[in-house]
Amino acid sequence: MLLSCGVDIVSIKRVEKLLERYGDRFIKKVFPEGIEYCYQKRKGELAGCIAARFALKEAIIKALSGIEKKVTLSEIVIIGGGKNLEVKLKNHKEIQLIYSISHEKDYAVAMVNVIKLK
């Protein structure tokens, strides 16, 4: 049963500027763990990869606010990529999510459905 959904879009150029200005400090603050997949990408794809994951975190926060669950960016761990993309919620293991992310040219987008509580 669908309980809530969330969507977010992120400008890849904005993430590029954040990476130029703050470098690893930005990445470590938003992604304290699980970002290794993005570092394996080609140099020009790093910002798109990070933007998609940031959009996913924001979409999760929006979806969970729809069922009155609070979660912070650091509680959301995104591991792997492609078909092996996995999301873990540190303090909300009872929540089940269905999600999709994509990025193309200037934008990254993410969609999340909260389908049921385990």
- Nearest-angstrom CA–CA distance, 7 and 75: 18
Sheet architecture: strand order including 107-117 = 4-11, 107-117, 95-104
Q: Residue 19 contacts by C-beta under 8 Å, 6 or more apart in sequence? A: 26, 27, 46, 47, 50
Backbone CA torsion sign across 97, 14, 81, 71? negative
Q: Is 106 marked within a binding site?
A: no
Q: Is 94 marked within a binding site?
A: no
Known binding-site positions: 8, 58
Known binding-site positions for Mg(2+): 8, 58
